Structure 1
Amino acid sequence: MTPRTPAPGSVTEATCTRCQILKPAAAFYANPLTRKGLHSRCIECMKDVGALRREVPKTTAAEATCNVCGWLKPSSEFHVNRRRFNGLTNRCRACAQDYYQAKRRGIIEYQRQHRWEDARVRMASDARRRDRKHGRESDIKAKDIVIPRACPVTGKPIYHGYGVRMAWSPCLERIDKSKGFVKGNWRVVSWEAVEASGWQLTRT
């Protein structure tokens, strides 16, 4: 915004709504949306208001009320936030810790669910690709794959999401090797069980 020099015949002066002083039009910023074509506050008052908004409190309040639990607590129970008027956060330390722990648990659960979902998609896609390569019939879909918590062969837990293939990673195995991945002809086992039964035989 730039100061406006009024054209001949237009408004030559106006009163600031903050300091209530009658000033020439050059002391106001231009605002074409108003009737006079000027801001309601003069340039000096607008700069003062901006400075007050940017002012950082040098001291914190002795006590404050938590917006979550509603308790009045001393300032030592809050984190410092210099951007707020009292220099303290709106949540106490205990409520803030509970909030972020719950948020972290939600994120971890979301990631865990999507890791398993992505694993099923990749396993189904890989199985269909292998059946096409060898000319076998295949009707496997990601939603039909159920990854057990433990391997049915070794009895050990199955995990996923480490980014590399490990002994406990899930893998699809055909029960009848003469057929493709059709309904009822596959099961999910760990890579340890696959390698123990013969990697070449199972992966073809």
Structure 2
Amino acid sequence: MDSTFTTHLTSAIIAAKAAKLEERRERHRRNAKEHYWRTLQTEPRKAMLLNARRAARRFNVPINITVEDIVIPARCPAFDIPLERSNGVAGEASPSVLRLEPQLGYVKGNVIVVSAKAARDPLARTLLFKALKADPKVVA
């Protein structure tokens, strides 16, 4: 056999394996997205837990909460607006898991569900945290 032919054959095999691997990765990404959207529609607390896990990895903080620890109230404790899920991008009234003490992470007793608007607003978070420290039953 010619060494050039062997080199080309080896390159072709490597390229084919790489293409197959990339196709498998893309299929996995597509299936993961579909699974997430189905979960969001049927089990919003589970989807919120998946988002919290992703955020915990991103911010390198601990996480030990379960689906049972995520309690979605009827109204936002900070703005007193009704919480409702939206499709696609989170709206102002979408429920969001918030860490009371950010450095502690997503641990039991350190998370609360508020509206996405309250989660993004630093002043609302600060006032909510002060109210919770003064009287933890504010959220109940």
For Structure 1 versus Structure 2, the TM-score category normalised by the shorter chain is: 0.5 to 0.7
Alignment of 1:41-190 (within 5 A): 118-190=43-115
Structure with greater helix percent: 2
**Take 2:61 and 2:93, find their aligned partners in 1: how far apart are those partners?**
28
SS of equivalent residue, structure 2 residue 104: coil
Offset from partner CA, 1:10-54 (integer Å, 9 cap, x none): xxxxxxxxxxxxxxxxxxxxxxxxxxxxxxxxxxxxxxxxxxxxx
- The alpha-carbon distance between structure 1 residues 116 and 155, as it changes in their structure 2 partners (threshold 3 A), is farther
The TM-score normalised by the length of structure 1 is 0.38
Q: Secondary structure in 1 aligned to 2:43? A: helix
The number of aligned residues is 85
Higher relative contact order (CA 8 A, sep 6+): 2
Question: Unaligned 5+ residue runs, structure 2?
Answer: 1-38, 124-140
SS at match of 1:152: coil
**Which structure dedicates a bigger proportion of its chain to strand?**
1
Q: How big is each residue's C-alpha offset from its partner over 1:116-166, in whole Å with a ceiling of 9 and x where there is no partner?
A: 752111111111122123322110112221100000000111011434311
SS at match of 1:167: coil
Whole-angstrom CA distance in 2 between matches of 1:116 and 1:164:
13
Structure 1 unaligned spans of 5+: 1-113, 199-204
Contact 1:128 1:140 in 2 (8 A): no
Q: Distance in 2 between matches of 1:161 and 1:193?
A: 16
User: Matched residue of 2:98: which SS?
Assistant: strand
Looking at structure 1, the residues matched to 112 and 74 of structure 2 have their Cα atoms a distance apart, in angstroms, of: 13
3-state secondary structure, aligned to 1:189: strand
Deviations 1:77-98 (A, max 9, x none): xxxxxxxxxxxxxxxxxxxxxx
Partner of 1:196 in structure 2? Answer: 121
When normalised by structure 2's length, the TM-score is 0.54
Q: Which protein has the larger Cα radius of gyration, Structure 1 or Structure 2?
A: 1
**Partner of 1:6 in structure 2?**
none
CA separation of 1:180 and 1:156: change in aligned 2, threshold 3 A: same
User: Contact 1:149–1:158 (CA<8 Å) still a contact in 2?
Assistant: yes
SS at 2:91 equivalent: coil
* Identity among equivalent pairs (%): 34
